[in-house]
Amino acid sequence: MSGGFEFIGFTVEQGVATITLNRPGKLNSFNEAMHGELRQALARVRDSAQVKVLILTGAGRAFCAGQDLGERRVPPGGTPVDLGDSIERNYTPLVLGLRALPKPVIGAVNGVAAGAGANVALACDVVVAARSASFVQPFARLGLVPDCGGTHFLVRRLGTQRALGLSLFGDSLSAELAEQWGLIWKCVDDDALSDTVRQMARQLAAGPALGYAHTKAAVYAAEQNALAAQLELERDYQRQLGFSHDYREGVAAFLERRPPNFTGA
């Protein structure tokens, strides 16, 4: 795939970077090599002034089936893998990296998203899923707890009852129901997914990058802040943004009834 990677695709076009999980024969399940490539790709996105938006998607018929359990099989007499170490080394940096990226991240869920794959999708800022896609928390079947931020995302978006129901029973949640429950932003027909996400990405790429970065940071801070602290944060961000070129341009474009020309400064 492009970008010099083996297990992911990486392209940049018109300010939009696309990372494609690319192990279709394994339903794009994570292995150690893929994690290493994802870290490199995210660093490129973070450090590139040309990239304004990131799309994360999967190749083939799945978004991601989670961890490749072939790497976790313990032979008779063997030593079990330290799952906590694997999470700390691979999954925690991935989820936190997506959330901390000062650029919008669109998750384009093209098929089944299971386990860590589901929760990496939910770590994206906006999730758009194909109608045939589904979200599965299969951890209980393995005697595990949802990881990769799953317990965080599910409880905050769905409430305790639905979070526990999905986690304990491991039922598949359709993209349509995920949209209705507020777990994702939008469900679209399969053949419309690519065009819909591309249009969204192009819109964001032409927008006020500095404002988007602060908006993303403010929304995620609200999960922890009390109201008074959040009001102070909003005040500080508005103060900073009020001196930006993009704010002046936005006001001028509104008053002159023309499209704004944002520069991200």
**pTM assigned to the model:** 0.95
Q: How many domains does the chain have?
A: 2
Which pLDDT does position 2 carry in this prediction?
A: 56
Answer whether residue 195 is part of any domain.
yes
Task: Name the β-bridge partners of 47.
Answer: none
Among residues 188, 205, 222, the one where a domain terminates is 205
Whether 105 and 234 share a structural domain: no
Which pLDDT does position 1 carry in this prediction?
A: 39
Whether 97 and 69 share a structural domain: yes
Answer whether residue 196 is part of any domain.
yes
Cβ neighbors of 37 (< 8 A, separation 6 or more) are 5, 6, 7, 8
Cβ burial, residue 120 (10 Å; 0-12/13-18/19+): buried
Provide block-wise average pLDDT over 10 residues at a time, the chain (265 residues).
84 97 98 97 97 98 95 76 91 97 98 98 98 98 96 98 98 98 98 98 97 98 97 98 97 97 93
Whether 23 and 71 share a structural domain: yes
Which pLDDT does position 57 carry in this prediction?
A: 98
Which pLDDT does position 71 carry in this prediction?
A: 80
Whether 199 and 214 share a structural domain: no
